[in-house]
A and B are shown apart, each in its own frame.
Chain A
Amino acid sequence: MRQTSFRRFAVVLMGVVALVAAACGSSSTGSTSSPSVQTLKVALIEPSLRNDLAFSQSMFAALQSLAGPMNLQIAVTDNAFNVTDAANAMHQYAASGYNLVIAHGSQYGGTIQQLAPQFPKTSFAWGTAGVTFGQPNVFAYQANSQEGGYVEGYEAALLSKSKVLGVIGPIDVGDAHLYVVGFKAGALAADPHVTVRVSFTGSFSDTTLMSTAATSYVSQGADVLTGTSQSVVGAIGVAKNKNVAWFGTQWDQSSLASSQVVASQVYDWTGIVKQMVTAIRGGVLGGATYTITLGNDGEKIAYNPSYSLPASVKSGGDGVVAKIISGAITPPTN
């Protein structure tokens, strides 16, 4: 079996080269630098690509915009949908002296819970969830997606002529769950007779399923669609080609279908990040939970300037926003 012995030789050779090179190389060490006014080293770990026009992009964009003004040095490990690899990256960032490790994905929570005690001088931020595990160096942050969902559902019901709305979610968890619940409630509040169809594709990443679901909704007469997760771009493509209105969330999706996207609930994490960074620079590494809402400008309804929205719909929406902020309406979460 010459074939096999060749392969084995190849393998041994590679091993020797690797070990020799590693011995010659330097390993990365670092002590946690004092985070006062010096550059704060921030690491971001997120489950999809940073240009996904949804969840991951929202945090990446927030950090990028703050990097200069707040003197931050940003490192990104994106596409980290495998939790084990993400955990390795988090560990390495913490061990390399990063001051703030942002784990932007609810699946990272268990890892944060175990890692935080090992690195008491590093601050960990976990989103989207509302639990800090009682650790002094863990921040938690979440999004009240149901608020923007409610507003958009309300407007969608008013806007729709066929009175059939289609909602496509990935998996019924986390902020996807909240948004979908809020949307349906808002739609029914605007018009109790509207039909809101809800389905979940079962994947955060499968764009084909989203496209197919969108097509199916359109065939059932839906003239307004919405959905959440990074795979939603597939559904937006269908909305564009079938000229059906789209309401987006997590990021401003107007660019994807400039004549069909009505509005998007944009997550603006800059407020929260500012608070966390300031706290860290003041010596507080965790123990607080932050929520973005319509009230604190963490969530904004971004209207697509290219879409001519009837004034009555917009004022209806604005009215609902005001009521949510004042507390008159509390969109449900389940």
Chain B
Amino acid sequence: MSQFFTAAVLTATVASGIQLATPFLLAGLGETMGQRSGVVNLGVDGIMLLGAFSAYFTALKTGNLLLAALAGIGIGVAMGLVTALVSVTLKAEQGISGIGVFLFGLGLTDLLLLKLVPAPATVAALPTVRIPLLDRLPAIGTVFFQQDWLVYFAFLLVPVLTFVLNRTTYGMKIRAVGENPAAADTVGVSVARIRYSTVLIGCALAGLAGAALLLFVGIFQQDLTNSEGFIAVALVYFGAWRPIGVMAGSLLYGMVGSIVLTSKTLGIIPLSGSDIAAMAPAVITVLALLSVARRFRQPAALGRPYERGT
């Protein structure tokens, strides 16, 4: 047990926790934008898979990790257009269409892996970016300021999106559309345009989340995300539709997972308790929400397509 509390192990555990949290954070932030404007997207996992594969393929062919991340975003935008078309313009039932996108992403990525990459190879990880000065801080420096740039980007998005949602006109429109689209429509806000924009942002971030996961693992595999996309959607509810809440949820989930894994590798958790211990992140997340017992309401128009006159 004492081995756990060595500096090296502790910092590595926390740093791993942050890395684990990053894909959840990116996808969760994206989903938050969409849900604040009233659109539920259950297809996040499928888009993450597609983003991960396109990042993988790009990295294999070009060796350029930035391009790989952009590929992930690109495929996310493409899927975002489809999702927006289906959910906003065609006003389809959002729950089903999301699961359809998930199935599509799951099946297509396996096919592409078999067809395009018959001999999979690993790709490089993102280089660690040290923030000058700050990274010299004891303990905290190693953990927080020696991550790769995707991690910084994800965490920087939190204040950015909070600002956008709460202090910009655009954010106000998003919230209005999510609460009362008819009223927003009456005052001249284009419900469709706002929803399109948030869905595009959301799916772009989901694609980037997939790319982040891929770059962390280093190779693509069947069902790489292992349903992480659904967990990200769940974390939106945990975070009460606020970016900072989503960040808290992602960090909680990632950190508990990292602690459990480290404990297993150190032998603190015996092999026989391995499975039980692995339940910890999920259980703690639910207990955390239970204990806080907040009464945040969801956006009133969440999940309901808007049609003028209804």
B153 to chain A, nearest CB (A): 19
A160 to chain B, nearest CB (A): 16
Contact A205 B16 (CB under 8 A): no
Contact B271 A233 (CB under 8 A): no
A230 to B221, CA, bound (A): 9
User: Chain A contacts of B267 at CB under 8 A?
Assistant: 197-199
Interface centre among B16, B117, B124, B221 (most CB of A within 10 A): B221
In the complex, whether A185 has a CB less than 8 A from a CB of chain B is no
In the complex, whether B190 has a CB less than 8 A from a CB of chain A is no
- Interface size of B by CB at 8 A reads 42
Contact B114 A50 (CB under 8 A): yes
A28 to chain B, nearest CB (A): 23
User: Chain A contacts of B3 at CB under 8 A?
Assistant: 220
Contact of B274 among A166, A200, A207 (CB under 8 A): A200
A187 to chain B, nearest CB (A): 15
Contact B213 A208 (CB under 8 A): yes
A168 to B117, CA, bound (A): 26
A36 to B271, CA, bound (A): 49
B210 to chain A, nearest CB (A): 12
Contact of B121 among A220, A238, A256 (CB under 8 A): A256
In the complex, whether A321 has a CB less than 8 A from a CB of chain B is no
Which residue on chain B has the smallest CB distance to residue A208?
Answer: B217
Given A217-B265, A233-B218, A237-B122, check contact A206 B226 (CB 8 Å): yes
Enumerate B241-274 residues with CB–CB distance to A below 8 Å: 257-258, 261-262, 264-267, 271, 274
In the complex, whether B222 has a CB less than 8 A from a CB of chain A is yes
Contact A211 B218 (CB under 8 A): yes
In the complex, whether A215 has a CB less than 8 A from a CB of chain B is yes
A240 to chain B, nearest CB (A): 6
A177 to chain B, nearest CB (A): 10
Contact A240 B122 (CB under 8 A): yes
Contact A231 B218 (CB under 8 A): no
In the complex, whether A38 has a CB less than 8 A from a CB of chain B is no
A300 to B271, CA, bound (A): 29
Contact B221 A255 (CB under 8 A): no
Enumerate B115-158 residues with CB–CB distance to A below 8 Å: 117-122, 124-125
Given A199-B274, A241-B125, check contact A208 B20 (CB 8 Å): yes
Contact of A79 among B110, B216, B271 (CB under 8 A): B110
Contact of B218 among A216, A217, A234 (CB under 8 A): A234
In the complex, whether B12 has a CB less than 8 A from a CB of chain A is yes
A312 to B120, CA, bound (A): 33
In the complex, whether B282 has a CB less than 8 A from a CB of chain A is no
- Taken residue by residue from 28 to 64, chain B's Cβ proximity to chain A (1 for < 8 Å, 0 otherwise) reads as 0000000000000000000000000000000000000
Contact B219 A233 (CB under 8 A): yes
A221 to B7, CA, bound (A): 12
Contact of B113 among A49, A199, A237 (CB under 8 A): A49
In the complex, whether A48 has a CB less than 8 A from a CB of chain B is yes
Enumerate B190-233 residues with CB–CB distance to A below 8 Å: 213, 216-219, 221-224, 226, 228
Enumerate B178-198 residues with CB–CB distance to A below 8 Å: none
Which residue on chain A has the smallest CB distance to residue B126?
Answer: A241
A51 to B110, CA, bound (A): 11
User: Chain A contacts of B113 at CB under 8 A?
Assistant: 49, 51
A194 to B274, CA, bound (A): 23
Contact A202 B13 (CB under 8 A): no
In the complex, whether B103 has a CB less than 8 A from a CB of chain A is no
A246 to B219, CA, bound (A): 16
B103 to chain A, nearest CB (A): 14
A65 to chain B, nearest CB (A): 15
In the complex, whether B287 has a CB less than 8 A from a CB of chain A is no
B127 to chain A, nearest CB (A): 9
Contact A212 B221 (CB under 8 A): no
User: Chain A contacts of B9 at CB under 8 A?
Assistant: 216, 219-220
User: Chain B contacts of A203 at CB under 8 A?
Assistant: 226
User: Chain B contacts of A157 at CB under 8 A?
Assistant: none
User: Chain A contacts of B258 at CB under 8 A?
Assistant: 212, 216
User: Chain B contacts of A51 at CB under 8 A?
Assistant: 113-114, 117-120
Q: List 13 A-B contacts (CB under 8 A).
A: A198-B271, A203-B226, A205-B223, A207-B219, A208-B213, A208-B228, A211-B216, A212-B258, A216-B265, A219-B9, A233-B122, A240-B218, A257-B122
* A interface residues with partner B (beta carbon < 8 Å): 48-53, 79, 166, 168, 172, 197-203, 205-209, 211-213, 215-221, 230-231, 233-234, 236-238, 240-241, 255-257
**Which 5 interchain pairs have the tightest Cβ spacing?**
A237-B218, A219-B12, A199-B264, A241-B125, A216-B265
Known: A207-B221, A213-B265, A216-B261. 17 other contacts (CB 8 A): A51-B113, A51-B114, A51-B120, A52-B221, A52-B222, A172-B271, A200-B271, A201-B261, A202-B274, A207-B217, A213-B264, A216-B266, A219-B12, A220-B9, A234-B218, A237-B125, A238-B125
